[in-house]
Structure 1
Amino acid sequence: MADPFLYNTGERSHYGCLGHEVQIDYLKAYVCRPSFSTDKAVIVAHDVFGWQFPDIRYIVDLIAGHGYMEADVVLKYLKEQCGAKKIGIVGFSWGGMAVHHLMLKNPQLAAGVSLYGIVRDSEERYSLLNPTFFIFGEKDHTISLDQIFLLEDKLKQYCKVPYKIKVYPGQVHGFAQLKPEDMKPDDKPYIEEARRDMIDWIKMFV
């Protein structure tokens, strides 16, 4: 089983990255394009450690390799500067919570994947506008199984679009972000499965 997920934010890997940084008005962002032309894009909503953290950039590059332009920036930039016509969103931890919120508010997002986003219970949290996939770790120290079961029950009552909830055995908060060299052998199959599931959901709807 994975250990509790606690980053040492003073450390940075030597991951080289495949994309580049851009300035968009007052924002800086990391953008990665696939090696072929596409009119599809995925926004990556980062966790509390920010868009410059190497593990997030690794995920951005991973998704871009499947044919999606990547940027943790606004829809306008993706449409006007990247030519994106269909846009999805993926988010991790804090970003996963942001995905949940945006999938309730923004119909321009064709699909979303929320990875271990904190579950907040309210009547306004379940009427999703477009397909959304929720990924959780069984041993997450910040999200209890009871919270996940509540989310599932409420979505059954209120949600009118496709959704999916999946809990990965033995996994903790942040498990799907780890780079290959940081994975423990027992956790690697679940990490790879979660990433495949994430990509498959995006491909299905974006």
Structure 2
Amino acid sequence: MSGPQCCSNPPTLNPSAGAGHVEQLGGLSSYVSGSPDSKLAILLISDVFGYESPKLRKLADKVAAAGFYVVVPDFLHGDPYAPENADRPVQVWLKDHGPDKAAEDAKPVIEAVKSKGVSAVGAAGFCWGAKVVVELAKSELIQAAVLLHPSFVTLDDIKGVKVPIAILGAEIDKLSPPELLKQYEEVLTAKSEVDGYVKIFPKVAHGWTVRYSDEDEAAVKSAEEAHQNLIEWFAKYVK
């Protein structure tokens, strides 16, 4: 995730954004939206900017409106990446925030959600969060996965996935360029036992689903299309 692309256009974080609320789940502060009576839960796993991103919370509310109980945990423990901190470039920050550790942190969150009566859990990850989701998809802790402009995800990761997976990528992306996305697709095509697809969105860049400009009509339209794909995938497989 080196290079500026993962970290361009950072959101203005807002701890009070969204229609939901923050509560403790599985030992982590988590933004929660939707009916706690829903038997179907979705985890949204943030990019390096964390769970206070207003557009991520807005998406959580949108997924909740489709009938899911949505949880956005703070896997960064109150320490999102801050581009303005020149003493701590992203490579240094990542040493404190490995996706493998976050995948372990996700287990008690999933247990906490299931203790509320939830019977099926899906997870979507953005950039950094996509690597966390792929780890959960390998161990079948979730019923379905969506990766959005993934970072760090290898072909071996995709080979190890055991649940239905949708991969939504960008045409302009140094972290998961179209050539790599097409290799993911080849792996999924060869894995007949796991349903999955890869979709490459034209004319958008890494991060476009949660870091778009409201003034850019085309960017908003692409983000909303990806959001709809995400909701449709979970409606199909988290039930």
Greater shift, 18-27 or 88-97, is seen at 18-27
Supply the AA of the counterpart residue of 1:163: G
Kindly state the Cα deviation for residue 33 of structure 1 after the two structures are TM-superposed.
1.7
How many Å separate the matches in 2 of 1:118 and 1:156?
21
Q: Does residue 1:205 correspond to 2:205, yes or no?
A: no
Kindly state the Cα deviation for residue 125 of structure 1 after the two structures are TM-superposed.
3.5
Supply the AA of the counterpart residue of 1:157: A
Q: Are the aligned partners of 1:128 and 1:159 in contact in 2 as well (CA < 8 Å)?
A: no
Aligned to 1:87: 121
Q: Secondary structure at the match of 1:170?
A: strand
Aligned to 2:9: 7
Kindly state the Cα deviation for residue 159 of structure 1 after the two structures are TM-superposed.
5.3
Any idea what the Cα deviations from partners look like across 1:138-173, whole Å, max 9, x if unmatched? Answer: 112322111111111222234521001100111111
Aligned to 1:115: 148
Q: Are the aligned partners of 2:124 and 2:147 in contact in 1 as well (CA < 8 Å)?
A: yes
How many Å separate the matches in 1 of 2:157 and 2:59?
30
Supply the AA of the counterpart residue of 1:154: V
Q: Are the aligned partners of 2:134 and 2:157 in contact in 1 as well (CA < 8 Å)?
A: no
* Equivalent residue runs for 1:114-133 within 5 Å: 114-118=147-151, 120-123=153-156, 125-133=158-166
Q: Are the aligned partners of 2:172 and 2:204 in contact in 1 as well (CA < 8 Å)?
A: yes
Q: Which runs of 5+ in 2 are unaligned?
A: 74-108
Greater shift, 151-160 or 52-61, is seen at 151-160
* Equivalent residue runs for 1:3-152 within 5 Å: 6-8=8-10, 11-12=12-13, 16-24=17-25, 26-34=27-35, 37-73=37-73, 74-80=109-115, 82-105=116-139, 107-118=140-151, 120-123=153-156, 125-152=158-185
Q: Are the aligned partners of 2:135 and 2:157 in contact in 1 as well (CA < 8 Å)?
A: no
Supply the AA of the counterpart residue of 1:85: S
Q: Secondary structure at the match of 1:130?
A: coil
From 189, 200, 204, the counterpart of 2:221: 189
Q: Are the aligned partners of 1:127 and 1:155 in contact in 2 as well (CA < 8 Å)?
A: no
TM-score calculated relative to the size of structure 1: 0.85
How many Å separate the matches in 1 of 2:26 and 2:40?
22
Q: Aligned residues: percent identity? A: 23
Kindly state the Cα deviation for residue 32 of structure 1 after the two structures are TM-superposed.
1.0
Per the alignment, do residues 128 and 185 of structure 1 end up closer, same or farther by CA in structure 2, a change over 3 Å counting?
A: same
How many Å separate the matches in 2 of 1:198 and 1:25?
25
The higher-RCO structure (CA 8 Å, 6+ apart) is: 1
Aligned to 2:80: none
Q: Secondary structure at the match of 1:43?
A: strand
Per the alignment, do residues 25 and 175 of structure 1 end up closer, same or farther by CA in structure 2, a change over 3 Å counting?
A: closer
Kindly state the Cα deviation for residue 66 of structure 1 after the two structures are TM-superposed.
0.8
Per the alignment, do residues 120 and 27 of structure 1 end up closer, same or farther by CA in structure 2, a change over 3 Å counting?
A: closer
How many Å separate the matches in 2 of 1:7 and 1:37?
36
Kindly state the Cα deviation for residue 7 of structure 1 after the two structures are TM-superposed.
2.7
